[in-house]
Structure 1
């Protein structure tokens, strides 16, 4: 029997590289904010960070004691050096210092507009120190017109509008809507400065015209003084995730979930006596921005181990060489027919949850084929044979698992649970058919039809597409979703082993 390959031949072609994210911001020698925090956030969320420094600060966790703005000509040389050599996928803009610097950055953006621009209008540090002079604050309007998302905190939101600081979440959200409408830019309203047990954020799209244009995110507020650089960290994480291809609501949700843990575990760092930094690498480097092949490879690690166990099963060995008892094969096909009846409903559920028309059509087609093509294969064997059509325990456990994932309504987790039925069947079918051909097995091999059906190129291509859609869902997922996807996939993969082994363990043996 051929052993399981080191890598699946069905994995999708690798996608684009990690997003290259440029931070244009000031430095923080204490490492908790500014360029230093941006680079940590970019790396933690799976991107490659570049940095152009707009200002040098003398600061620590207790406050800012000095700011030095280098000549603007040198800033321009830094920007041009980057754009002459590197394709920038996303830009995060932080502390700018003065109106002249803002003008230089705006000129560069006008000439070299990256796909994503996130503007964090840094005006006030966590310590309360002002980081932008009055002329620069007035000049920010030009820069906002070039941004995709602006991420002000509550005091900065008020300053941008020339209004009083909002005292509650509802007022802050209304200010965010007005800012979005005034400048034609999406605004991430951050409620971290407000009181209450819940920390609210809201993404207001560029129209800000109705409730449907607002997506609200909530999380428990963490009781800590370690808030140094939270705005820098969130905006650079958001730029990275947007640069990786996540849609804005997904990117904000993932960035907020990551920052929540970074704040919650910040006491582990014990840096400084004031507002300490957040723990950027609480989960190591997150896989958020990896390409689809990276996620597929992680899933394959689980699938490969279970596939090796499948190849060691007596049922598979006997199926491959044609010596399998007909009663065992009939039992297997009967259970497969029962399984596919439920599997078709689960695929239909995936179609209803899918985020794109292409994915909807793909899973719907799979649901139809479960009832059409596969049913014909089963009828050709089951008609005229006395075989029980009662679910065996292995079948019931498997379909109960799939139905539970479908009932949860999480598309990413559901397709991860669905995938092993495609992937492991395709791999097993391909290997068994290859050995069937190499052995010169005649058409009299009583299981030739099954071997040919699962080695069909169309089924292999459908499997590749299923892997790609699942991996793409993983790339868009939050860290918690990705963990749930891996668990759902692992359960289904183990159920596949049990399903193939069930005919050999059924009692009594030898009866159809």
Structure 2
């Protein structure tokens, strides 16, 4: 009885595609993607790629029978998908095996017409294939194949296609999946047609939009094998088609990520499972770092960095940067405290809590020291400069006290960055919050180490106004903390679900952009 297999054991009887996009190879990927255990019996060997088929070799039918016997005598088969059957003898061999074993689910994808429109089977093989249809529970022809099975012209409208599907269902006793992929237009409907349903003829239509992609190699193979697998779990063709159709849509949409071949590429069978692929230690955060290469190059090219390095940065710009950084750290400490509360281990909890303390103590002390030597520029909520404020206006935390004079108010970038981090904090996801917090460690450390390395290599003239500040970047304790923050975020990414990992990626990128804007803010607002 179909609908009871937790991990369906699905046998594909089809031809081999060495390029991996169609046939047996596509079937096995689809079965695995749908949660099944795939097996195969190869009916034909092809020489093909994304551009087409150049040769076909058909093993003796006796060898196909031996494959079927070897599998069926040892392993329970919950569902069968039948694809390319090269000639009449092969078809008769499969028919005899089906008659002897009577699988609960048989999906037949009648491979008869090539994409070019050429017929792939000799007349006697086509006739034998029509006889095989009565052994199937579901038949999944494309429109040219549907027409060929009926000996009629290919349907040019959806109504004609449904009529042909109904008549094929009447003749075979099987349910027919009518596919609208070959019709013109932006819509791409499908329909399950069961002319012999106990409650009367049934046509269940499933709408859909055409996916604009050239990567359609193996689409029919993939859908039919996915349907066989899901049907072994659900026992309901409509429920099975809803699952398989949604999966195939995603596989088509993500197909460009594969970059396979120069013709009609394959679909991305495992698009939905990428975040579940086991990652090596450091692999996830390495990919985050690579994603931000352009942003980091833009940071390196900012006038603020060059002028800080060269000692030509206007003091007003430096004072604005320090003031905003002190305000930022106040908010960042709350974010790190939240990361501590969400962290899954005591070690991580202690790390983020210590980071929050450092923001309010050690870093605040550094800012207080510098702010006591530099005039602080006051700005309004829009970032517009107000009259200068005496350094004595600085509060004990290192940031100027807010008041009627506008001092101590976060500039536009500071406010947006902190708001972004607080939103990540409110998400409730430790992984997303760690990813959002990481660029403040990682990018700051990388920028600082590069500045310090360049500065350390120069003869000390004693006249560089920011030499002491640049020297703080050599702090090994901060470098060690950065390495730990990277490691904890990487571990969280390796544990994360697919949607959560994508949210981590978005949070990391957004924070990286805010880091760039933060370094550039003095030029725009000071």
What residue is the counterpart of 2:162 in the other structure? 173
Map Cα deviations across residues 383-409 of structure 1 (whole Å, 9 max, x no partner). xxxxxxxxxxxxxxxxxxxxxxxxxxx
What residue is the counterpart of 2:260 in the other structure? 271
Pairing of 1:151-170 with structure 2 (within 5 A): 151-170=140-159
Q: Does 1:54 align with 2:37?
A: no
CA distance in 2, matches of 1:240, 1:110: 21
Return closer, same or farther for 1:286/1:151 CA change in 2, 3 Å cut-off: farther
How many Å apart are 1:105 and its aligned residue? 0.2
Q: Does 1:35 align with 2:31?
A: no
Map Cα deviations across residues 95-133 of structure 1 (whole Å, 9 max, x no partner). 000010000000000001111000000112335454322
Return closer, same or farther for 1:17/1:71 CA change in 2, 3 Å cut-off: same
1:58 is paired with a residue whose SS is strand
- C-alpha contact 1:23 1:94 (8 A) present in aligned 2: yes
1:132 is paired with a residue whose SS is coil
Which residue of 55, 58, 68 maps to 2:57?
68
- C-alpha contact 2:143 2:182 (8 A) present in aligned 1: yes
- C-alpha contact 1:44 1:285 (8 A) present in aligned 2: no
2:38 is paired with a residue whose SS is strand
What residue is the counterpart of 2:91 in the other structure? 102
Pairing of 1:425-444 with structure 2 (within 5 A): none
Which residue of 106, 114, 119 maps to 1:117?
106
How many Å apart are 1:17 and its aligned residue? 3.7
Which residue of 215, 224, 231 maps to 2:213?
224
Structure 1 unmatched runs, 5+: 1-14, 288-305, 307-482, 484-512
CA distance in 2, matches of 1:285, 1:81: 34
What residue is the counterpart of 2:443 in the other structure? none
Count the aligned residue pairs: 278
Task: State the TM-score, normalizing by the size of structure 1.
Answer: 0.52
- C-alpha contact 2:5 2:232 (8 A) present in aligned 1: no
- C-alpha contact 2:30 2:225 (8 A) present in aligned 1: yes
Q: Does 1:90 align with 2:85?
A: no
What residue is the counterpart of 2:121 in the other structure? 132
Which residue of 4, 7, 13 maps to 1:18?
7
What residue is the counterpart of 1:252 in the other structure? 241
What residue is the counterpart of 1:191 in the other structure? 180
- C-alpha contact 2:15 2:85 (8 A) present in aligned 1: yes
- C-alpha contact 2:5 2:78 (8 A) present in aligned 1: no
Structure 2 unmatched runs, 5+: 277-341, 343-498, 500-526
Map Cα deviations across residues 244-280 of structure 1 (whole Å, 9 max, x no partner). 1341100011111110111111111111111111010
1:220 is paired with a residue whose SS is coil
CA distance in 2, matches of 1:130, 1:61: 19
What residue is the counterpart of 1:400 in the other structure? none
CA distance in 2, matches of 1:16, 1:97: 31
CA distance in 1, matches of 2:217, 2:267: 7
CA distance in 2, matches of 1:167, 1:244: 35
Q: Does 1:262 align with 2:262?
A: no
1:256 is paired with a residue whose SS is helix
How many Å apart are 1:243 and its aligned residue? 1.0
How many Å apart are 1:190 and its aligned residue? 0.7
How many Å apart are 1:134 and its aligned residue? 2.1
Map Cα deviations across residues 288-343 of structure 1 (whole Å, 9 max, x no partner). xxxxxxxxxxxxxxxxxx9xxxxxxxxxxxxxxxxxxxxxxxxxxxxxxxxxxxxx
Return closer, same or farther for 1:286/1:183 CA change in 2, 3 Å cut-off: farther
Return closer, same or farther for 1:116/1:227 CA change in 2, 3 Å cut-off: same
CA distance in 2, matches of 1:155, 1:191: 11
Map Cα deviations across residues 337-377 of structure 1 (whole Å, 9 max, x no partner). xxxxxxxxxxxxxxxxxxxxxxxxxxxxxxxxxxxxxxxxx
Return closer, same or farther for 1:286/1:209 CA change in 2, 3 Å cut-off: farther
CA distance in 2, matches of 1:59, 1:166: 29
1:46 is paired with a residue whose SS is coil
Which residue of 126, 133, 139 maps to 1:144?
133
CA distance in 2, matches of 1:126, 1:112: 33
CA distance in 1, matches of 2:124, 2:151: 13
Return closer, same or farther for 1:38/1:91 CA change in 2, 3 Å cut-off: same
Higher relative contact order (CA 8 A, sep 6+): 1
Return closer, same or farther for 1:209/1:61 CA change in 2, 3 Å cut-off: farther
How many Å apart are 1:176 and its aligned residue? 0.3
Return closer, same or farther for 1:226/1:127 CA change in 2, 3 Å cut-off: farther
Return closer, same or farther for 1:248/1:286 CA change in 2, 3 Å cut-off: farther
Task: State the TM-score, normalizing by the size of structure 2.
Answer: 0.50
- C-alpha contact 1:69 1:97 (8 A) present in aligned 2: yes
1:222 is paired with a residue whose SS is coil
How many Å apart are 1:225 and its aligned residue? 1.2
Return closer, same or farther for 1:158/1:136 CA change in 2, 3 Å cut-off: same
CA RMSD of aligned residues (A): 2.5
Map Cα deviations across residues 421-473 of structure 1 (whole Å, 9 max, x no partner). xxxxxxxxxxxxxxxxxxxxxxxxxxxxxxxxxxxxxxxxxxxxxxxxxxxxx
